[in-house]
Structure 1
Amino acid sequence: MRYTLKDYQQDAVRDILGNLAEAREMFHNPRLRRTSQFALTATTGAGKTVMAAAVIEALFYGHDEFGFEPDPSAVVLWFSDDPNLNEQTRFRLLAASDELNHSDLRVIAHPFSEEKLSPGKVYFLNTDKLTRTSRLTRGHDAGDEDNQIPDLRASVRPDLQGFTIWDTLRNTIEDPNLTLYMVLDEAHRGFGTKASADKPTIVRRLVNGHGDVPPVPVVWGISATVDRFEQAMKAAEVAESRRGLDRVQVDPARVHASGLLKDTIVLDIPAETGVFDTVLLTRATRKIKDSTSAWAEYAATHADQTGDGTKTDPVVPLMVLQVPNTPDPDMVARALDVVFDEWPELGGDEVAHVLGDHTTQAYGPYAVRYISPERVQDDTTVRVLIAKDGISTGWDCPRAEVLMSFRPAKDATHITQLLGRLVRTPLAMRIEGNEVLNSVECILPFFDRKTATQVVQILTGELDGFPDPTGRRVLIRPETMTPNPDVPEAVWDALVELPSQSLPRKGAKPVKRLTALAHALAVDGLKPDAGAAAHQEMHAVLNGAAARHKDKLDTAVAEIWTVHGEEVAGRYGQTGVSLDRFTEVADDRAIRDAFRQAGRVFSPDLAGTYVDALAGPDDDQDDDGLRDAYVTVAALALIPEVGDDLDREAAKLTTKWFDEYRVAIKDLTPERQAVYNDIRAMAVDPQRMDLTRPKNALVETSYPPKSADEEPIPMPSRSQHLLADAQGQYPVGTLNDLELEVLDKELSRPGVTAWYRNPSRSAQDSLGIAYKDARGTWKTMRPDFVFFDQAGLDQTVRASIVDPHGHHLSDALVKLHGLAAFAAEYGDEFHRIEAVAKVGVATRVLDMKSEVVRTAVFNASDAQTLYVSHVAGTY
């Protein structure tokens, strides 16, 4: 793979491969011979195609880390209802995979006349290619197979079409040496409605089979709305004959935490009644110009991720003008007049459209060229794009920063569909501490606050229609808060030194983590020989383990060299059979297979370099010595204690290097620091993480009016926040009564210098604390407030965590457990760590720096009992 998979993507790929292996076994096992289906569900922007590329690579070529052997029988049929979507997927698979090439990814189109599909290939097919009028199917009458004249089907086939596509699929499925895996892209589409259940759709024919065409052995559905897929499979009446495997479901919270999706959607609407489309379009154009400048500034001040000091290519933002399905050419021309008036340096060829008519369109004096949707992201000459709603499926454009919609309020669904395609972050990562660059703007000139509220409800999941809004904020005309000049620099220094915690990762391997750290240190020039040094240290660990466990190693070596077998014999005329065991000496292929298993224990890289170390320099290597080295490494991997020793020492070396280069890492660019934070998080236990200094914040400043006739009501605000408006104020209207009570109480204390409303999203400028929920799953809590005061003669800055939280909430106790554990580990770095709750009319507090309180928390059965007990105090 050319891309490094995110942790949630790795977990999903591992689960998908497990399902495919089980499905293959069920289909080819003569005792089972069952077809199967399962679904992958992941939010828009999660990287479903990247995950699919990793799965297909492993299917064709195997994958040591996932412990997956290649399937030489594998044929993949990628099916959707849109050829453009297929083409975009083919391009993305090529971009993501370093194993697949153009010849491996074939589009099925006339003339396509093959008896069978070939193993090791991905074939792209869409619905239109399977209709009765398609030249790929002509001569195949699915409705009257039994009554046809035998030679008629062949005689009516078009030239160059010796086999219909249905013939090809039948022959592929019936070949015992092939396994057809069908990927049903955007799986909720193509099944038809319940009303038409008596007339099978094309997808149903594929899934169920028809006539002499058997059902597809394995169906893998991919969709952000997988429930529809599963309902459709049930409606297709496949439950009896086709086994449903475990759904692979990606937690949207993990996707949001990865930084692949934008944190904030900003809605701009008129504040009064009237026609303001040109006014708001001018505002939209200013926003895209400001965004262009912001990204250019960001690129100019940040080195790229190769660490060689060269500058990053700036993101080139795009503004989308969404027009009605039947756009008025004069209206579009007037809109372009406004855009060019506000943006005179914009070139005429920098405006394009993706409308159904694929030709240059004339709008008054403007000739607007056509561009295919899949090319928009990469063609940075396009700065303004005219679109309808036809690109709401299968198209992503992360550089689209501004959406100006001329749709009326009744088209809220069309707007949210298009917004769903614009939520990816341009650099596939969050720009830490910069909410402006992590947002997308939507300007709605024909909406009032009432109808805009409907859009907000859709975007935040209160109403159906928008994919997985977990962790995303929707703001209506917020203001940008910037660093408060009244806050002393010492407070900022204290903030970035505070500990935060990573979310543990399932199946994390210490050796892989060490290797990743070594690579990063070498890339950044902090330790150029880090890779060699890491492997040298691990070789020493393996040498020591081999000496300590010599007897076990000798036994394991003998086991590697020996292949055990059984000979079963029977004689004619006699009942029963004889069973004889035999042994043979392992050949090179068996040794290589054992060595591959060692790569899964030690990591393929480390196993390879250790073989080289054991075999000696290239000039001294001979076949016997190299073979012995492979056997030794394979044998060591069979001894559990060796793997444990290696993991422990790899973790120690990783910790040592992080400590040694802590200050140097802080001097790197935010992008590079994010890489190190990601490496820190590659552990099965919470790890200390660095906080990033926030640069700005988007904050709502007024309450939405109850009706369209009312004016927005300004929110109350408080001073001394780290980020503030031009008057030094920070809005607090979104805080509940307890939170406001705590805030005012803390600000009234002597010596208080500043406070920070800790962001609730997953970001490096948000202090996170890991905890286990009731099911034992690791999650992250984010305390509401961090307060700073100055004490002593030297006016030392002290930080305090104060977290108001309802004791009645279902997660109250487990979050207290997490806060107590955090205080036990990092309490010395804080002045206070307190949890506050309202019990009746009293406000109670738990001092987590007290060992007595922490013990009570860990032994408690519910949160309320804690707050009313003697271990709590009056706040």
Structure 2
Amino acid sequence: MKFTLKDYQEDAVRDVLVNLKKASKRWLEDGDKNAFSLTATTGAGKTVMAAAVFEALFHGDDNFDFEPDAGAVVIWFSDDPSLNEQSKYRLLEASDRVSPSDLVVVQNTFNRESFEPGKIYFLNAQKLSKNSLLVRGADIDDEGYNKSGQQVMPDLRAFTIWDTIQNTINDPSLTLILVLDEAHRGMGAGSKQGEKTTIVKRLINGAGAVPGIPVVWGISATVERFNDAIADMKGRATLPNVVVDSAKVQASGLLKDTIILDVPSETGQFDTVLVRRGIDKLKEISTSWAAYHQEQGDVDEVLPLMVLQVPNTPDHNEIGRALDTIYERWPDMPEDAIAHVFGDHTTQTFGRYSVPYISPERVQESTWVRVLIAKDAISTGWDCPRAEVMVSFRPAKDRTHITQLLGRMVRTPLARRIPGNDRLNAVDCLLPFFDEKSVKEVADSLMTGSDGGDQLQGRRILVNPEEMLANPAVPEAVWEKLLSLPSQTLPKKQSKPIKRLTSLAHELAFDEILPGAGALAHAEMHKVLNAARQRYKDQISQARQAVLTVEGRTLSAHLSDKKMSFDDFLEAADYAVIEDAYRRASRGISPDLASTYSEFLAKSEGDADDYEEALMDAHATVAALGLIPEIQAYLEAEAEKLAKDWLTQYRVAIKALSDERQDVYREIREMSTEPMDVDLARPNSWMQPTTIREADGTEKALPRYEKHMLCNSEGAFPEDFNTWEIDVLNLELNRDNSVAWYRNPARASQDSLGVTYEDAGSIKMMRPDFIFFAQLPDGAIAADIVDPHGTQFSDSIPKLRGLAQYAETSGEHFRRIDAVAKVGDAYRVLDLKETKVRTAINSATSIAELYSSDVAADYV
């Protein structure tokens, strides 16, 4: 793969491969048909996951412990040719093992007896309609027969596309897999008796002589309709559906954290006003991206664009007036910076402007486009991460179209979160024809993943927010203290320590922090393996003997006395047997390390006059090592230890790198099987709500607070706190020598201090509410964590234990780490820097009793 998969993507790919392996086995052995779906919210990278699946399916993958399927054939089906073209482009963009020749777009000239294994064939509904040249050449019915009941072949063609599908299914060496892209489209809720079978259902169920495709894999953000349709189909089993956790997608940084909705504060025609505001936002975000590019140096400059969304029957003169406003506000924008994606693929005239058509999938790469005029044709199957502003002329009743299009604009332009910068992690939508009530409905839709999926934890929908910048009244020493505080990261499931070490070594060498890090890492692991050979000498000897010999029994039948006997035999293993055992062992210790260690053994211990024989002997030794579980565990522990040592040793050098490069190391840290400390990023720009909606629908301005590390132009920070939080905040800000405070973000961003905790066997993340800063008598800055801790939640004790563990390992960075709760009418505090308090927390069964006991004190 050209891309490093996120942890949730790896998990999904592994689960899909398990399903495909089961489905293929059941089809080839028993003729059973199976179906399953992959559900992931918009922007999760479904095509990237599919590319990883296809690489493993066709070529095998040691990371997923998956052997290649020599008989696998894939049909990628959608209801739109442009979606297929975009999917083909993305698969090639993501994969370095799936070649262009493996991806075949089925055209009208396609003519094969059966599909070829190892290839992906792109089909769409139009190609399978009864009028398609692939299907018919005369007046036939939906099943391919004429009025006389004879099957009619297309003109100049030996096989219809249905023949090709049938022949592929009937080939006992092949497994045909149908991938339904955007699986929720074209799948009716059910088919009534007598209704014509849809093309999609014909592919799944079969019709006439053509059987249903053996394996069906649906990919979508909303697959309920697909799942319902599959459940109603007879003769097809369902495998466990693969569901991607939307919270992990949001936490990954692939999706923008904030969607900003701008609406007029009163009713009326404000289209021109908000178009002007929209182009101002585009200019502002363009300047911010240019500054970020200049600051970072090694990142591609993002050239954002604005989407001008219009109704399905737009007034071209009205669009022309909007373009006049755009050029008046941004006179330096080139005249050829505008394009449209209407269904009519011709140049359109809007007032005095001639605007060319551009294919939706080309918008992202066509950086000359700065304003894109669209209806609703691109609301599904298209995305453009650099589309950062949208002005919609859609009326309030069209909120579904707005929500769908916004759902295509949520990908982050650099496929990662920009640390501490809400402005660059946001998308703006201006709705001149909307009222507050309709905007609330749009916000509710967006909070459920834009596609009716799960709640997207970490995403914020803000209406008319205000930007917060660094508070000039806060001393730089406070910022330095904040950035010195250790945060924690969730461990990555199923990560391999040796792979993690190898990845770290590659990046350290690339950044010239540790030249030759790869060779150094392997040399250290060679020492580990040498030590293991001494430690497990006898076991290795036995395992090596098992690798080098093949045991069996020979049956002898004597015709004279009709007796049979078994004779044991022992033969030396040949090259193929040894290599097979070596290959299996390589998966456990990593193919690269197995290769370098084999070469090391061949050169240091083998016959110098016969390197090939020495290498084969070394492969036998490596194969034997792989048969002893204790060796792999020992090796992985040492690899984990070395990776941790290097991450600690070179932390300062890594911190000096650009955001893009630091993000690479952040992902490597998260590959640890245990929680690890990470550095906080400096927050530069936050978008904060300024009003709150009351129960009666009225809007009320949020309270403003002083001394926050980020503030508006008046030095104030607006926030909606509950009663506990307000009481804690007021008490802390009134303490002597209080300098500043930080509202720790509740979302998974690099400027949020995270603390891991264990709950029901899973590692989870909590984020303490407040960090307060005070100036000590000697002039130093002290940091205090104060977390108003609710006692009514089931995870209250696990979170408290996690914070107590954090206090034990990282307490030296803080003056106080306090957990506060209200018991009756009084506030009580647990001082987590006290050993006796932590001991009581670890043995507690009731959090209310804990705060009422003598280990707690009155919070004053």
TM-score by length of 1: 0.94
Q: Is 1:51–2:38 an aligned residue pair? A: no
How far residue 584 of structure 1 moved from its aligned partner, in angstroms, is 3.8
Structure 2 unaligned blocks of 5 or more: none
- Whether the aligned pair in 2 keeps the contact of 1:113 and 1:160 (CA below 8 Å) is no
Q: Which residue number in structure 1 is paired with residue 246 of structure 2? A: 252
Going from structure 1 to structure 2, the CA distance change for 1:665 and 1:146 (only over 3 Å counts) comes to: closer
Q: Is 1:786–2:771 an aligned residue pair? A: yes
Going from structure 1 to structure 2, the CA distance change for 1:197 and 1:372 (only over 3 Å counts) comes to: farther
How far residue 855 of structure 1 moved from its aligned partner, in angstroms, is 2.4
Q: Which residue number in structure 2 is paired with residue 204 of structure 1? A: 201
Secondary structure of residue in 2 paired with 1:348: coil
From 654, 659, 663, give the equivalent of 1:665. Answer: 654
Secondary structure of residue in 1 paired with 2:210: coil
How far residue 659 of structure 1 moved from its aligned partner, in angstroms, is 2.2
d(CA) in 2 for partners of 1:834, 1:645: 39
Q: Which amino acid counterpart does residue 27 of structure 1 have in structure 2?
A: W
Secondary structure of residue in 1 paired with 2:721: coil
d(CA) in 1 for partners of 2:475, 2:486: 20
Q: Which residue number in structure 2 is paired with residue 217 of structure 1? A: 214
- Whether the aligned pair in 1 keeps the contact of 2:755 and 2:806 (CA below 8 Å) is yes
> Residue deviations 1:383-434, cap 9 Å, x none?
1000011101100100001000000111111100000000000000000011
- Whether the aligned pair in 1 keeps the contact of 2:804 and 2:838 (CA below 8 Å) is yes
Going from structure 1 to structure 2, the CA distance change for 1:177 and 1:463 (only over 3 Å counts) comes to: closer
- Whether the aligned pair in 2 keeps the contact of 1:807 and 1:837 (CA below 8 Å) is yes
Pairwise mapping of residues 354-369 of structure 1 onto structure 2 (< 5 A)? 354-369=341-356
Which stretch of structure 1 is more off in the superposition, 569-578 or 484-493? 569-578
Secondary structure of residue in 2 paired with 1:352: strand
Q: Is 1:23–2:23 an aligned residue pair? A: yes
d(CA) in 1 for partners of 2:727, 2:560: 94
Q: Aligned-residue CA RMSD in angstroms?
A: 2.4
Pairwise mapping of residues 632-643 of structure 1 onto structure 2 (< 5 A)? 632-643=621-632
Which stretch of structure 1 is more off in the superposition, 410-419 or 798-807? 798-807
Going from structure 1 to structure 2, the CA distance change for 1:554 and 1:331 (only over 3 Å counts) comes to: same
- Whether the aligned pair in 2 keeps the contact of 1:416 and 1:465 (CA below 8 Å) is no
Q: Which amino acid counterpart does residue 779 of structure 1 have in structure 2?
A: K
Going from structure 1 to structure 2, the CA distance change for 1:197 and 1:856 (only over 3 Å counts) comes to: farther
Pairwise mapping of residues 384-395 of structure 1 onto structure 2 (< 5 A)? 384-395=371-382
Q: Which residue number in structure 1 is paired with residue 270 of structure 2? A: 276
How far residue 450 of structure 1 moved from its aligned partner, in angstroms, is 1.8
Q: Which residue number in structure 2 is paired with residue 754 of structure 1? A: 740
How far residue 570 of structure 1 moved from its aligned partner, in angstroms, is 8.3
d(CA) in 2 for partners of 1:743, 1:580: 85
Q: Which residue number in structure 1 is paired with residue 14 of structure 2? A: 14
Pairwise mapping of residues 586-601 of structure 1 onto structure 2 (< 5 A)? 586-601=573-588
Q: Which residue number in structure 2 is paired with residue 308 of structure 1? A: none
Going from structure 1 to structure 2, the CA distance change for 1:251 and 1:745 (only over 3 Å counts) comes to: same
Going from structure 1 to structure 2, the CA distance change for 1:533 and 1:463 (only over 3 Å counts) comes to: closer
Q: Which residue number in structure 1 is paired with residue 513 of structure 2? A: 526
- Whether the aligned pair in 1 keeps the contact of 2:403 and 2:450 (CA below 8 Å) is no
How far residue 351 of structure 1 moved from its aligned partner, in angstroms, is 0.3
> Residue deviations 1:517-537, cap 9 Å, x none?
111111111111111111111
Q: Is 1:869–2:853 an aligned residue pair? A: yes
How far residue 613 of structure 1 moved from its aligned partner, in angstroms, is 1.2
Q: Is 1:628–2:617 an aligned residue pair? A: yes
How far residue 52 of structure 1 moved from its aligned partner, in angstroms, is 0.5
Pairwise mapping of residues 482-493 of structure 1 onto structure 2 (< 5 A)? 482-493=469-480
d(CA) in 1 for partners of 2:440, 2:318: 26
- Whether the aligned pair in 1 keeps the contact of 2:42 and 2:450 (CA below 8 Å) is no
Going from structure 1 to structure 2, the CA distance change for 1:380 and 1:567 (only over 3 Å counts) comes to: farther
Going from structure 1 to structure 2, the CA distance change for 1:686 and 1:621 (only over 3 Å counts) comes to: farther
Secondary structure of residue in 1 paired with 2:336: helix
Secondary structure of residue in 2 paired with 1:162: coil
Which stretch of structure 1 is more off in the superposition, 323-332 or 342-351? 342-351
- Whether the aligned pair in 1 keeps the contact of 2:581 and 2:623 (CA below 8 Å) is yes
d(CA) in 2 for partners of 1:359, 1:581: 80
Q: Is 1:850–2:848 an aligned residue pair? A: no
Structure 1 unaligned blocks of 5 or more: 305-311
Q: Is 1:723–2:710 an aligned residue pair? A: yes
Secondary structure of residue in 2 paired with 1:742: helix
How far residue 849 of structure 1 moved from its aligned partner, in angstroms, is 1.8
Which stretch of structure 1 is more off in the superposition, 721-730 or 569-578? 569-578
Identity %: 54
Which stretch of structure 1 is more off in the superposition, 612-621 or 247-256? 612-621
- Whether the aligned pair in 2 keeps the contact of 1:319 and 1:384 (CA below 8 Å) is yes
Q: Which residue number in structure 2 is paired with residue 680 of structure 1? A: 669
> Residue deviations 1:253-276, cap 9 Å, x none?
111111000000001111123211
Q: Which amino acid counterpart does residue 662 of structure 1 have in structure 2?
A: R
Q: Which residue number in structure 1 is paired with residue 84 of structure 2? A: 86
Going from structure 1 to structure 2, the CA distance change for 1:567 and 1:835 (only over 3 Å counts) comes to: farther
How far residue 666 of structure 1 moved from its aligned partner, in angstroms, is 1.7
From 46, 50, 60, give the equivalent of 2:58. Answer: 60
- Whether the aligned pair in 2 keeps the contact of 1:43 and 1:468 (CA below 8 Å) is no
Q: Which amino acid counterpart does residue 216 of structure 1 have in structure 2?
A: I
How far residue 465 of structure 1 moved from its aligned partner, in angstroms, is 4.1
Q: Which residue number in structure 2 is paired with residue 814 of structure 1? A: 798
Secondary structure of residue in 2 paired with 1:99: coil
Q: Which amino acid counterpart does residue 19 of structure 2 have in structure 1?
A: N
> Residue deviations 1:533-578, cap 9 Å, x none?
1111111111111122221111111111223456678899999997
Going from structure 1 to structure 2, the CA distance change for 1:808 and 1:576 (only over 3 Å counts) comes to: farther
Q: Which residue number in structure 2 is paired with residue 307 of structure 1? A: none
Pairwise mapping of residues 134-153 of structure 1 onto structure 2 (< 5 A)? 134-138=132-136, 152-153=150-151
Going from structure 1 to structure 2, the CA distance change for 1:773 and 1:229 (only over 3 Å counts) comes to: farther
From 171, 177, 195, give the equivalent of 2:173. Answer: 177
How far residue 641 of structure 1 moved from its aligned partner, in angstroms, is 2.1
Going from structure 1 to structure 2, the CA distance change for 1:549 and 1:751 (only over 3 Å counts) comes to: same
Secondary structure of residue in 2 paired with 1:865: helix
Q: Which residue number in structure 2 is paired with residue 742 of structure 1? A: 728
Q: Which residue number in structure 1 is paired with residue 641 of structure 2? A: 652
Going from structure 1 to structure 2, the CA distance change for 1:197 and 1:791 (only over 3 Å counts) comes to: farther
Pairwise mapping of residues 439-454 of structure 1 onto structure 2 (< 5 A)? 439-454=426-441
Going from structure 1 to structure 2, the CA distance change for 1:354 and 1:573 (only over 3 Å counts) comes to: farther
Q: Is 1:343–2:330 an aligned residue pair? A: yes
Going from structure 1 to structure 2, the CA distance change for 1:139 and 1:365 (only over 3 Å counts) comes to: closer
Q: Which residue number in structure 2 is paired with residue 192 of structure 1? A: 188
Secondary structure of residue in 1 paired with 2:587: helix
Q: Which amino acid counterpart does residue 172 of structure 1 have in structure 2?
A: T
Q: Which residue number in structure 2 is paired with residue 309 of structure 1? A: none
How far residue 197 of structure 1 moved from its aligned partner, in angstroms, is 6.0
Going from structure 1 to structure 2, the CA distance change for 1:178 and 1:366 (only over 3 Å counts) comes to: same
- Whether the aligned pair in 1 keeps the contact of 2:246 and 2:454 (CA below 8 Å) is no
d(CA) in 2 for partners of 1:345, 1:586: 75
Pairwise mapping of residues 387-406 of structure 1 onto structure 2 (< 5 A)? 387-406=374-393
- Whether the aligned pair in 1 keeps the contact of 2:73 and 2:177 (CA below 8 Å) is yes
Q: Which residue number in structure 2 is paired with residue 103 of structure 1? A: 101
How far residue 144 of structure 1 moved from its aligned partner, in angstroms, is 6.7
Secondary structure of residue in 2 paired with 1:194: coil
How far residue 649 of structure 1 moved from its aligned partner, in angstroms, is 1.6
How far residue 633 of structure 1 moved from its aligned partner, in angstroms, is 1.4
How far residue 742 of structure 1 moved from its aligned partner, in angstroms, is 1.1
Q: Which amino acid counterpart does residue 769 of structure 1 have in structure 2?
A: V
Secondary structure of residue in 2 paired with 1:763: coil
Secondary structure of residue in 1 paired with 2:296: coil
d(CA) in 2 for partners of 1:576, 1:397: 78
Going from structure 1 to structure 2, the CA distance change for 1:574 and 1:264 (only over 3 Å counts) comes to: farther
d(CA) in 1 for partners of 2:222, 2:567: 56
- Whether the aligned pair in 2 keeps the contact of 1:770 and 1:778 (CA below 8 Å) is yes
TM-score by length of 2: 0.95
How far residue 348 of structure 1 moved from its aligned partner, in angstroms, is 2.1
From 127, 137, 152, give the equivalent of 2:125. Answer: 127
- Whether the aligned pair in 1 keeps the contact of 2:449 and 2:455 (CA below 8 Å) is no
From 807, 810, 813, give the equivalent of 1:829. Answer: 813
How far residue 27 of structure 1 moved from its aligned partner, in angstroms, is 1.0
Q: Which residue number in structure 2 is paired with residue 114 of structure 1? A: 112
How far residue 863 of structure 1 moved from its aligned partner, in angstroms, is 2.6
- Whether the aligned pair in 1 keeps the contact of 2:498 and 2:639 (CA below 8 Å) is yes
Q: Which residue number in structure 2 is paired with residue 433 of structure 1? A: 420
- Whether the aligned pair in 2 keeps the contact of 1:185 and 1:223 (CA below 8 Å) is yes
Going from structure 1 to structure 2, the CA distance change for 1:684 and 1:142 (only over 3 Å counts) comes to: farther
